[in-house]
């Protein structure tokens, strides 16, 4: 379904980000961003999410088109389209989580932000992976490429790839904005860290649930109306 070259490219990009991270960290590790959180802690929370986004571009977008010419079997299978899409989202979520968790654990032993931030970071990983998997799978359902000649490449149209990149950037900005905004508010109003973390998780969960329910329903309608042309 996915080529070795595609994964090699993803890991190469991730490696570049990894080295850039340590260069920045070495120069600014003693500074604070807006006086409320250390840059090393911020990178600990966000860098694994960037890895997830990069990996997800190649994984979830291929969820539908990756079935190639066997897609007609899914069309006639005794399983609802919504259930199939949910399975695809879970599949992408697991792959994203594995990649992101590995990166987070490595950074945890390097930066040592503390157990509370580790637990908080893992929750962010789950929620961001969920949202990204939903977005990518849904876009892949609207812009699949079933041609067998594409089986060693991305099984999604060029427009679909562009939309996945755009939605990744937009969702990342929204996700990061919620985290930074509430952490700033927590520092400004002297909230306990646990309260800030719970508020962030609650808001991110609401956003992820809205995306999941709306996009899965829309994608199911799209696939149910899709006529087999191959």
**CA 155 and chain centroid, separation:** 18
Distance CA 199, CA 191 (A): 11
Domain assignment present for 77: yes
Domain assignment present for 194: yes
Q: How far apart are the first and last CA of the chain?
A: 18
List the domain range (segments joined by +) for residue 107: 4-225
Distance CA 52, CA 92 (A): 10
Tens digits of pLDDT across the chain (230 residues): 444 444 444 544 455 455 555 545 455 444 444 446 777 888 888 888 888 888 887 777 665 655 555 566 666 666 777 888 888 889 889 988 888 888 889 888 888 888 989 999 999 999 999 999 999 888 888 887 766 554 555 667 788 888 888 999 899 999 999 998 998 888 888 888 889 999 999 999 999 999 999 999 998 888 777 665 55
Q: Under a CB-based contact definition with an 8 Å cutoff, are residues 186 and 200 in contact?
A: no
Query: How many domains does the structure of the chain reveal?
Result: 1
Domain assignment present for 230: no
* pLDDT, position 207: 94
Q: Under a CB-based contact definition with an 8 Å cutoff, are residues 27 and 104 in contact?
A: no
Domain assignment present for 174: yes
Domain assignment present for 106: yes
This prediction has a pTM of 0.80
Residues 6 or more apart whose Cβ sits within 8 Å of residue 66: 1, 2, 155
Distance CA 126, CA 153 (A): 27
Domain assignment present for 113: yes
Domain assignment present for 218: yes
């Amino acid at each position: 379904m996915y080529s070795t070259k595609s994964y090699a490219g993803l890991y190469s990009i991730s490696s570049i980000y990894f080295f850039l991270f340590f260069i920045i960290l070495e120069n600014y590790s003693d500074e604070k961003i807006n006086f409320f959180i250390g840059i090393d802690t911020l990178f600990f929370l966000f860098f694994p999410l960037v890895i997830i986004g990069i990996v997800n571009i190649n994984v979830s977008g291929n969820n539908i088109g990756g079935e190639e010419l066997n897609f007609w079997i899914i069309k006639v299978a005794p399983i609802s389209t919504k259930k199939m899409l949910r399975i695809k989202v879970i599949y992408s979520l697991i792959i994203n989580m594995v990649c992101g968790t590995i990166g987070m654990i490595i950074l945890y032993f390097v930066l040592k932000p503390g157990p509370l931030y580790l637990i908080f970071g893992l929750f962010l990983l789950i929620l961001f992976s969920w949202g990204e998997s939903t977005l990518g799978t849904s876009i892949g359902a609207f812009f699949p490429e079933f041609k067998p000649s594409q089986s060693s490449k991305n099984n999604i149209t060029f427009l679909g790839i562009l939309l996945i990149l755009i939605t990744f950037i937009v969702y990342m900005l929204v996700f990061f904005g919620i985290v930074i905004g509430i952490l700033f508010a927590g520092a400004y109003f002297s909230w306990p860290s646990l309260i800030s973390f719970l508020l962030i998780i609650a808001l991110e969960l609401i956003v992820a649930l809205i995306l999941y329910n709306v996009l899965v329903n829309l994608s199911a309608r799209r696939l149910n109306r899709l006529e087999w042309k191959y």
